[in-house]
Chain A
Amino acid sequence: MKFSPIEFRSQAEAALRDDTLQAALKRARSGFVDKRAKAVAALPEFELLRAEASAIRADALNRLPTLLEEFEAGVIAAGGQVHWAIDAAEARKIVLDIARCHESCRIAKGKSMVAEEIGLNPALEDAGINVVETDLGEYIIQLAQEPPSHIVAPAIHKTREQVAALFARHHERAELLTELTGIPELVDEARRVLRETFLSADVGITGANFLVADSGSTVLVTNEGNGDLCSTLPKTHIVLAGIEKVVPSMTEVSTLLRVLARSATGQPLTTYTSVFTGPRRAGEDFGPEEFHVVLVDNGRAAMLGSEFRDMLRCIRCGACMNHCPVYGAIGGHAYGWVYPGPMGQVLTPWLLGPERAPDLAHACTMNGHCAQVCPVGIPLPDLIRAMRVREHESHVNHVAERWVFRQWAWWAKRPRLYGWALRKKARWLRRLARPGGALRKLPVWSGWFRSRDLPTPQGRTLRDLMREKLRGSQ
């Protein structure tokens, strides 16, 4: 299944008609929202920690070059290697070059949003390299050949029956296709099959939740333990991370950990929080012999110098999408790329260019929930609004839309005329609709009315009402 941000409108419409998806979204929505609310209520310091987490990320971004140099020196001192990728193509090439050093290379991969962003798996597969996703959700969507639909729970749109069918086909285990196959059996099946992957892989690839400057460590949080097996068993461990992920020390990591899992899944902490520093040490029989960190820019450095700078604070918890009514209605695939929901509405047009995602910034009701729950205080509605302005200025929005806004601007700049016209229009609209009812259609506006009704204006404008009120209070 192929999705693209340019097809946002049609993908969103298809998602609204997909009953299976709607059931999954309903379950996910209540699950994530309730669990976060409970976790936050159980920690009286949460709002304070949230403010501190915001400051930690803002501060780290302010001195990113210094922290990155310190991190790089730390990795090298521990015996690891650091690679810098200015864009997705260079990042893919770096990983391919490392992987090609191994004969008949097999790769076990942990969940990494950056890997999705740079299109790593297709590049590896094109080069004849066997790459297996090991996070259960990622493994399911890899079998289904779909992109993730949520950054924390990539297969959130799949039902157990769909998963059973995928495993039955790909593992050649038709016996899984019975009603007796529950979720425990499916998890065991994946455990059994992926254990072989871990034990036979030459290279393990994982992402990183944080990079620690003062020790040159990478921090990875998982619940399954797959990231740890990827980083322990294969001879080579490659960590992929965006350049924005660095923080000064484990002290700052502590604060970020306290808000990350609570915001994501409502857990106080994920099951595994692992800190990797360099390759295996003298005397150790296990752990990778080579430790590589690939630091990916791909538009981030430029973002730091832009009005979208605060977006780089993001710690990828998914709270914004979990609390977004638009995401809740259409799910992640409709957004067409790696990053769905509010964070994606800023990242996707920035990383791909506004002309490849012209509709995303408009799929927002400006209700502000995302900013209220963001653990690092990203002003998402402001950034989405700024993205709309940027799109208007770069002329990617529709000609008709631009024309309408130009007309409206002409009237709005002439308040007396505007007030007069609005009164006329309100009266005219009221006459057009049935009393007490709503407008169902207007000529030219059929597109707008396809999914909405316009409540009939009651004949008096806000300006009239305000004028009367002010007169009354004098």
Chain B
Amino acid sequence: MGLPMNSRDRIFATLRAATAGPVAMTHTRPHLDDDLAALFETRALTTAATLDHIATAAGLPDALTSYLASIAQAEAGIAFAPAIVDLFPGARNLPIRPNGADPVAEVAVTGCVAAVAETGSVLLASSPDHPTTLNFLPETHVVIVRAEQIVAHLEDAWALIDPMPRALNLVTGPSRTADIEQTLQLGAHGPRRLHLILIADR
């Protein structure tokens, strides 16, 4: 007689009695058009994100300022992810909240680790330079995407991640719910607006 089994051992004993051989498998990725940047843009727009093109990173401060004016948030508190704050040399003129994850900042500006053409999504990885709170707490989330970050499929995006961060967020459009009468409403708990600034230059 052995020792009485704990739950883990009992679960595994039952499971082991029911194992079977491997199942033959293929792995298919959906066919996509060759122009990934165009596809990313089209699909991101169908998720109710908005998108702006700029030629080089030098245009970022102006692009951000004019976007905030367009949504009447010019005076809003902005939280920049430490990872990208250097891209905004003119940021002194913007109302910055220096804490990277102020829960009351109305706008967050972050980068991403990849953009997925298949789904129009951006992939965000948590780190000291990019707190996850920025992706979810503000009313408006602005994500900077460099053209070379656009990959075709979900699998291509995961392949860029090693090791796994604490949180990996694949974000596809602004927060939404259809829990009341199946009526789609943006801005459930996460950002009401997701704005992508696409930088063409390498």
Contact = CB atoms under 8 A, between A and B. Distances in A.
A191 B188 contact: yes
A104 interface: no
A436 interface: no
B71 interface: no
A275 B128 contact: no
A45 B175 contact: no
B7 A254 contact: no
Contacts of B101: 285-286
Contacts of A27: 181-182
Interface range, B side: 35 or more
Contact of A159 (B8, B100, B181): B181
A223 B187 CA distance: 10
A59 B19 contact: no
B28 A49 contact: yes
Contacts of B15: 64-65, 68, 243, 301, 304
Interface in B28-62: 28-31, 43, 47
B78 interface: no
A156 B155 contact: no
Given A86-B7, A272-B170, A281-B166, A62 B190 contact: no
B133 interface: yes
Listed from nearest, the 6 A-B pairs whose CB atoms lie closest are A225-B190, A224-B188, A137-B179, A301-B14, A305-B18, A59-B23
Nearest to B137: A229
Given A269-B119, A275-B167, A55 B158 contact: no
A368 B36 CA distance: 39
Interface string B1-38: 00000111011101111111111111111110000000
Interface of A: 24, 27-28, 31, 43-45, 48-49, 52, 55-56, 58-59, 62-66, 68, 78, 84-86, 90, 134-137, 140, 153-156, 158-160, 163, 183-184, 186-188, 190-191, 194-195, 198-199, 215, 217, 223-226, 228-229, 231-233, 243, 250-251, 254-255, 257-258, 265, 268-281, 283-287, 295, 297, 301-302, 304-305, 309
A250 B179 contact: no
A158 B180 CA distance: 7
Nearest to A134: B189
B154 interface: yes
Interface in B69-105: 100-101, 103
A283 B136 CA distance: 20
Contacts of A287: 126, 131-132, 166-167
A405 to B, nearest CB: 31
A89 B179 CA distance: 30
Contact of A254 (B136, B153, B181): B153
Interface string B149-175: 000011100100001111111111111
Contact of A284 (B10, B166, B168, B173): B166
A237 to B, nearest CB: 10
Contacts of B190: 224-225, 228-229, 271-272
Nearest to B185: A187
- Which of B15, B103, B135 has the most chain A CB atoms closer than 10 A to its own CB? B15
Contacts of B6: 84
B17 to A, nearest CB: 6
Contacts of B178: 153, 223, 265
Contacts of A271: 47, 171-176, 190
B104 to A, nearest CB: 10
B66 interface: no
24 contacts: A27-B182, A28-B182, A45-B30, A52-B28, A59-B25, A63-B19, A90-B7, A154-B179, A158-B180, A160-B180, A198-B189, A225-B188, A226-B189, A228-B169, A232-B136, A233-B133, A243-B11, A250-B158, A271-B190, A273-B172, A275-B164, A277-B165, A286-B101, A304-B15
